[in-house]
Copies of this chain bind each other. A is one copy, B any other.
Amino acid sequence: MATTGKQLFTTLAPDGTLTLELVDSQFPDPTGNQVLVKMEAAPINPSDLAILTGAADFENAEYSPGKVVAKMPEPFNSGQKARHGKRLPAGNEGAGTVVATGDSDMAKALMGQRVACVPGSAYSQYAIADAAMCLPLGDHSAEDGASSFVNPMTALGFVENAKIDGQDAILHTVGASNLGLMLNRICLEDGMKLVNIVRKDDQASLLKDQGAEWVVNSSDGDFMANLRSAINATDAFYGFDPIGGGTMVDSCFKAMEQVAVSKMTEYSRYGSNQPKRMFIYGRLDFSPTTLTPSYGFGWTLSGWLLTPFLQMAGMETTMRMRQRVLDGLTTTFASHYKTRVDLEGMLTKEAILDYRQMKTGEKYLVTPWG
């Protein structure tokens, strides 16, 4: 017998009309290794917004209860041609209680338990999830567990990736985000040096209060000099950036190269031999990334996504990371929320215009049952 509940869908029409809508969905009985989770809490992460709001115009959208219709401008509409006409669920992760399971032992063992899960359809009263990706939360609340995958595994993934690449220092361009603060705690635990870039003095204070040694404010007039000092002190030639657009990656490469050149004894027209590595793992800024010809040819810039990294790192590493998250759920890996909204509340103008800004430290939590 199918279960019925409210679920959010996002649909982009070929003409650029983006519709977010609550629908009464029927959830089939889980089979095999699936579980049916009654969702209690799901965060709105930047990675969710890519599909939820994207670059659409929500200032001039049509709002009605449980429904929003907005226009997606070019080139973002045609850039997403592959999803045109597809009604997509949203919400990467969340937490809730397992109310039905498939036949597998792994699935059956979760019956009745509160779990964190990664269904990709977490903005919903129910979600079908893979038992292998569920994390039993024990006595933790759904809110404690709601953000236990995307940010914790990403932050841990940076440190794991750095270790795999033989680095002992990392640069992070949005130091005071939920993920940034988490990364700072992980790095302190692991003795990994971390250069944090922030935009405001209070963000710098926050990080320093939490033990961060190298914090650089990009709004300061001497930002580049301070960044060079921090890189010089740490040898952080390896960084992660969630902004994507604009000149932040370029500034990091410049500072890295200037530090490397300052340590050279002889001039080379090709710049330093120091490999410089940056990863873009988000798109807080949709504008183009600009790279200037000012740091030679010894640099590499990549996109970074959690899933391919975990595939590369392997199951054993992934399980070790998951266990570490569970052990530190309310300490190292704690997330903080600005506010809570239900599914209808997610689709109000006030809420969308606020959470889509992805302001540092102002994350929303969706509670699908109110």
- How many angstroms between the C-alpha atoms of A83 and B296 in the bound complex? 14
Least Cβ–Cβ distance between A287 and chain B, in angstroms: 8
Number of copies: 2
Binds B, one of A140-148, A225-233, A300-308, A335-343: A300-308
Question: Contacts A293-B245, A294-B79 known; A267 to B88 CB distance under 8 Å?
Answer: yes
The verdict on A286 contacting chain B, using a C-beta distance below 8 Å, is yes
Complex Cα–Cα for A305 and B308 (A): 28
Contact of A283 with B291 in the complex, beta carbons under 8 Å: no
B302 lies within 8 A of A270 (CB): no
What are 5 A-B residue pairs whose CB atoms fall within 8 Å in the complex? A280-B297, A281-B297, A297-B303, A298-B303, A300-B303
**A75 on interface, CB distance cutoff 8 Å:** yes
| Least CB separation from A292: chain B residue | B288
Q: Does residue A289 face the partner (Cβ distance < 8 Å to B)?
A: yes
Docked Cα-Cα span, A292 to B261, in Å, equals: 29
Decide: A300 and B297 in contact? CB cutoff 8 A: no
* Cα distance A352–B282 in the bound complex, in angstroms: 44
Rounded to whole Å, the gap between the CB of A235 and the closest CB of chain B is 19
Minimum CB–CB distance from A335 to chain B (whole Å) comes to 21
* Complex contact B299–A302 (CB within 8 A): yes
Interchain CB contact under 8 A, A293 and B286: yes
Residue A1, interface by CB 8 Å: no
A320, CB-defined interface residue at 8 Å: no
Q: CB within 8 A of A302: which of B86, B290, B300?
A: B300
Residue on B with the closest CB to A279? B297
Q: Which 8 A-B pairs have the closest CB atoms?
A: A297-B303, A300-B302, A288-B290, A289-B291, A297-B305, A51-B269, A79-B294, A283-B293
Known: A273-B308, A298-B305. 8 other contacts (CB 8 A): A79-B294, A83-B267, A86-B267, A291-B291, A296-B305, A297-B303, A297-B308, A301-B301
